[in-house]
Amino acid sequence: MTELTGMFRDELASWVKEQGYPAFRGAQIFRWIHQGRDFDEMSNLPLAMREQLKDKAVAQPVQIRLQRESSLDGTVKFLFALRDGNCVEGVLMQYKYGLTLCISTQVGCRMGCRFCASTLEGLVRNLTAGEMLGEILAANRWLEASGRSERISHVVLMGSGEPLDNYDEVIRFLKLLREEDGVRIGLRNVSLSTCGLVPKIYQLADENLPVTLCISLHAPNDEARKRTMPVAEAYRIGDILKACRYMIQKTGRRIIFEYALSEGQNASVQDAAELANLLRGMQCHVNLIPLNPVPERGMKGVDEETVARFMQVLENHHVSVTRRREMGDDIEGACGQLRRKTINNATGELTNAEV
Ligand code: SAH
């Protein structure tokens, strides 16, 4: 079966022609697909053609298996079902500037960060570009079915997976976002988060795509970072920052550093001062978040006082910093938690309460 969501407009036109149909059908199908439609809904195609296409191709590779809506802030957590039975998570967040969807780029992850639930069972497989786009299309369908007029306008690659470990498909996905007649999400509205795969950061910078790069730093020095992030054995913070400066030079966009505070690990005033020193003079912003404890991992979060103190030190050093809003606290907001809860369910079936 051919997955049509992963094709650029001209590729789809060629494919449709190869199937023996006139090229203009390609443009029609492209439009339908990117509006989240399946073959049955493509009302300007002859019925026989729709039936034939159904046997050969998939128009919508991602379906929503369950969703949970936060009563606190309207955040919606989705469990997306892929065609092979695997599931990944996505989160829809409402900000003043629009609707943001956090998407997954891999089923599982092989980076092994100690605080993260997504990596507990390692990497299962990469997502295709068509599946990543499919997550957006599924969320847009959900919005439409909920009677809402807004559609996803911003995307963050911060769900399960390491985007730069699935490089080619992620780049193809980014380029799909700006196709004519597509979802038309400008790359300035896209943030890509990485644990810091240095050679891939250079490669990304050379693509000249104006995405915002986010670095999961989580420690002020290499020794501390090695305690929680195995990737720190491969790449030093100094080299990550060098690659970041190259990215800034290429895109003109500031870098976001993510820093999850954990009691006894990285949250002291000394840690803050060391971090400030590291980032001094760099065109960047620090996003602080109290670590969301994952039961399997045994790492602690921090109280508000600790966050405030840490923030103050950075501000005193003129480092731009915010405390990230925790969204959907009541709906298993942390990476990989909802999927794990679901696959841990002995029967594999979902209970009514969850649906
Ligand atoms: N692999 C990519 C993107 C996915 S994770 C990366 O490492 O950046 C998205 C963000 O959530 C990362 O900054 C990650 O470090 C963070 N994260 C993972 N588990 C967390 C937890 N339990 N509490 C707080 N942040 C967490």
| 138 CA distance to ligand 1 middle (Å) | 23
How much distance in Å is there from the Cα of 335 to the middle of ligand 1? 7
Helix (H) / strand (E) element for 66: namely strand 63-69
Say what the pTM is.
0.93
Cα 42 from Cα 1, distance rounded (Å): 19
Among residues 3, 87, 89, 258, the one annotated as catalytic is 89
Helices (H), the chain: 9-18, 23-34, 47-56, 129-145, 167-177, 198-206, 222-228, 237-251, 269-279, 304-316, 337-344
Outline where 69-185 has alpha helix (H). Answer: 129-145, 167-177
Please report the domains of the chain, with CATH numbers, ordered by start residue. Answer: 1-59 (1.10.150.530), 61-181 (3.20.20.70), 195-324 (3.20.20.70)
Q: Which residue's CA lies nearest to atom 3 of ligand 1?
A: 158
pLDDT score, position 332: 58
Task: For residues 215-219, give the mean pLDDT.
Answer: 98
Tell whether ligand 1 has an atom less than 6 A from the beta carbon of residue 33.
Answer: no
CA of 291 to the centre of ligand 1 (A): 9
| Per-residue model confidence as pLDDT tens digits over 99-132 | 999 999 999 999 999 999 999 999 999 999 999 9
Q: Is there a catalytic annotation at residue 349?
A: no
- Asked if 39 contacts 1 with a C-beta cutoff of 8 angstroms, the reply is no
The long-range contacts involving 141-144, CB below 8 angstroms and separated by at least 24 positions, are 141/36, 141/64, 142/64, 142/67, 142/76, 142/78, 142/92, 143/99, 144/36
pLDDT in the model for residue 349: 38
